[in-house]
Structure 1
């Protein structure tokens, strides 16, 4: 009876995880379509000289974009260049702010070794150091939660992003590499709680790295090492 109950509970949890993954996937698709619409709109405005530089549209608020589309706010059009210039300068200033400390409250992270062996890779990827520690393992690329393979501490998960739906996978993995996110992203926080190394903001990681490829990750310095003798099986 307990075994049947355990199976039912496991099935319920799995269905909830699948649902969470599906909701996240649809939400991400909607955001992607919204971004594509903004990019297409920006190209029209670049061609008409309303905007002067690629990326300008992302320094405007949604209400401002709507007013520009309606074409009834001449004052906004006249001030547009200054508004974008100001917000670009604010972004540059914010980039100089001291980074968030590794520990705000909770358990003190593991002390860094006095000497870290230098990396001598044939190829490296650089990202944001999000959870300290080193790990060597086989890459498992997951672009969504629709088909989840067996995962253990020998697996280094490579994902496009992380949210709460990925938590059951991270607790079983030996390390994490994510294309998006920073030190305060959901995956980075979980990795620190679980005590596994994590590197965020590794661009195109899910396309550069391959299933079965052996890598060493350094979550202290944000480095992924790939060597010729660590090729896919």
Structure 2
């Protein structure tokens, strides 16, 4: 989970660099006699801006996972919570899928890894969409880094030592910046995150855990066990092929 959060933080940095470079294509930076490209410079600026937000130690209360228990406890009929949860995931999945279809219908084979890169910057509506995309990483970056930092702090028994905590969080931001500058291709980074980590967390682990629990109470191979085994087989194929493909693309682009 922590590795997935780390890679998503890198994705956010690449996302910011790509979209800002789209808005300001002719911008270059000169620091101490060195010329820095626009995309790389924007990534560095983003990392400097979000760095102070990662130093706070009480951001987990703002994370999205807190919504689920609040919804559950606020329902008059809690037995309907699974139905509500399923409906929400179906609507979100349809929304994501519809956006992908619409993006392809609009731009065809010229569709880029981020649809905002295809939008014309001269239209005010496109500018609003791009700027909205830029704001999102600013509000979420610290939430992604905080669980990783807290896990490292717990393993090192840091306690309430603020200096060590700030050092750890700064090191995380620096490392994500270095990786984002080394792999400046949003599609490849997202492909690796989705195929290796998200595929494992959503397809392999739930089915494996379910089979482990069921094996203690039922030794027979029922319909649910067969379905889980099928999902695991398909999931292994997706994870292996997707991971190898994304790693190959990243290596070739370096």
TM-score, scaled relative to structure 1 = 0.30
Report the structure, 1 or 2, having the larger helix content.
2
Report the structure, 1 or 2, having the larger strand content.
1
TM-score, scaled relative to structure 2 = 0.28
Structure with the bigger RCO (C-alpha within 8 Å, sep 6+) is: 2
